[in-house]
Structure 1
């Protein structure tokens, strides 16, 4: 097939585009052309590169024309964030493209009431990002159910991989967390550390998209979660991370007010956004219909990211990794 990937130079596309090339597809990557993929791969030499500013072209009402002009059999949209943008692309591709695959998010759900969450059974989202992504997923599902364009929405967890900082044990990007754990110092955690996060390796997300492309009959009109086989809570992830440096985690439970007082507003807000949701997602549907089998557990994926950061002097830690 001829497959157009919108935003293929990012976290997911770094792994998805080479997968599609290896599977024998003709691949076109649409991006702003401002950065290369996070990992080198010889398959990129076979990829057609198209430079386009999605935001600007959406404002001009021509982005759908840019995509349609490439005459794709399938389109993978990794960088759509508003219902208006999604609707415009659907309207243009309807009747011309066989399959549109959209990257959603597990933040389409709000706080957890029961776990694991199956597709469509979580609580209503909160915050602009999750609310808009949920609206897109619902619109796409209705489009396919009404006999329009065949669509699939795949919802990744917290995407992890070498080349960027992972969401850490406290649900934020604070690099001091890793230094504290590697030094064996006390890490203050909000509450008792029982809140979960559900990470996923970027290559496992790519696997899910690739499988959905290969199984359009099973994927059409459906939503799927793409996460690691198991979620991890704050305590578990902190203890695992400390062990990577030959340490035992020393965790001090504090109130949220105390936690906020000891960090920056940015890190505190990020922690609240991740931990208050307390997400644990089911992948039973993706396994059954797409043959999805993630190769990375959450902690192993995060370790891979941390190792890359340490090896490339992007993360200051107190002692070397021992695993």
Structure 2
């Protein structure tokens, strides 16, 4: 098939685009042209690169026309963040494209109520941040579109995406590199809350696998939404303990109040931690396994370690030596 990937040079597309090429598809990647993919593989030589400023073309009302002109059978949208943008694309692609796949987010869910959180259940509160509100609205619109006999659509909702080439969400639910320095040195780490809060990661290649399977199983995927995460979730204290073992250290944690944590944290890091940890997320992947055949290869700690090893190898993280696996 001819597949257009919107935003294919980022975290997900770096793994997805080569998968699609290897599966025999003709692939075009639409990006702003300001970043290379994280994976430098031969498959990229077979990909048609299209440069476009989506935000500007959305404002001009021309972005959907650009996609239609490429004559795709399937469109995979990895960088849509507002209901208006998603709706405009659906309206233009209706009757022109066989299948539209959208990358959502687990932040379409608010704080957990029951665990694991399953699609279509009452397991989580409503989102309170604008990003999550928009992602939830997009997923609902796509389901209604397909249910009404319109465009075949599918939305996939990843956890905290991890992979070589970028910082993972760390044990405190933020991107503070000093957390890794503290753990690797065996120093005391101040942890907000109880340490039992959950985070649910996913390796970028497992997410790419899910998109590929949704393309392959259009009939099963059409009109559906899926949680796409690792087989298990990490608690804060479990994450710290696993990470400490990578450096042959014992974990040293000191629980502190959120007020104290905000006082000692660098600006912004505490807010990011609260955004992740207050949700306390753990998700079911049974629907994706059943309908798509989703079979994640990575446990969350394996995905994170791969990311940390890449950062160390590329001199982007100053920590102690990793112990042998």
TM-score range, shorter chain: over 0.9
Q: Can you list the C-alpha shifts for 1:216-259, whole angstroms capped at 9, x where unaligned?
A: 00000000011000001100000000100000110000000011
Per the alignment, residue 117 of structure 1 pairs with: 117
Alpha-carbon contact 1:307-1:321 (below 8 Å) kept: no
How far apart in 2 are the matches of 1:226 and 1:111? 18
Matches within 5 A, 1:271-290: 271-290=273-292
How many residues of Structure 1 are paired with residues of Structure 2 in the alignment? 323
- Structure 2 alignment gaps of length 5 or more: none
Matches within 5 A, 1:169-318: 169-318=171-320
2:23 maps to 1:23: yes
Q: Can you list the C-alpha shifts for 1:37-62, whole angstroms capped at 9, x where unaligned?
A: 00111100000110001111001110
Alpha-carbon contact 1:246-1:322 (below 8 Å) kept: no
TM-score, with structure 1 as normaliser: 0.99
Matches within 5 A, 1:26-65: 26-65=26-65
**Cα RMSD over matched residues?**
0.7
Q: Can you list the C-alpha shifts for 1:265-286, whole angstroms capped at 9, x where unaligned?
A: 3100000000000000000000
Deviation at 1:76, TM superposition (A): 0.1
Deviation at 1:123, TM superposition (A): 1.9
Secondary structure of 2:278's counterpart equals helix
Q: Can you list the C-alpha shifts for 1:90-137, whole angstroms capped at 9, x where unaligned?
A: 000000100000000000000001000001223211101100000000
How far apart in 2 are the matches of 1:265 and 1:238? 22
Per the alignment, residue 159 of structure 1 pairs with: 161
Per the alignment, residue 97 of structure 1 pairs with: 97
Deviation at 1:321, TM superposition (A): 4.0
Deviation at 1:191, TM superposition (A): 1.3
Secondary structure of 1:265's counterpart equals coil
Alpha-carbon contact 1:115-1:281 (below 8 Å) kept: yes
Structure 1 window deviating more from structure 2 (117-126 vs 24-33): it is 117-126
How far apart in 1 are the matches of 2:267 and 2:274? 10
Secondary structure of 2:244's counterpart equals helix
TM-score, with structure 2 as normaliser: 0.98
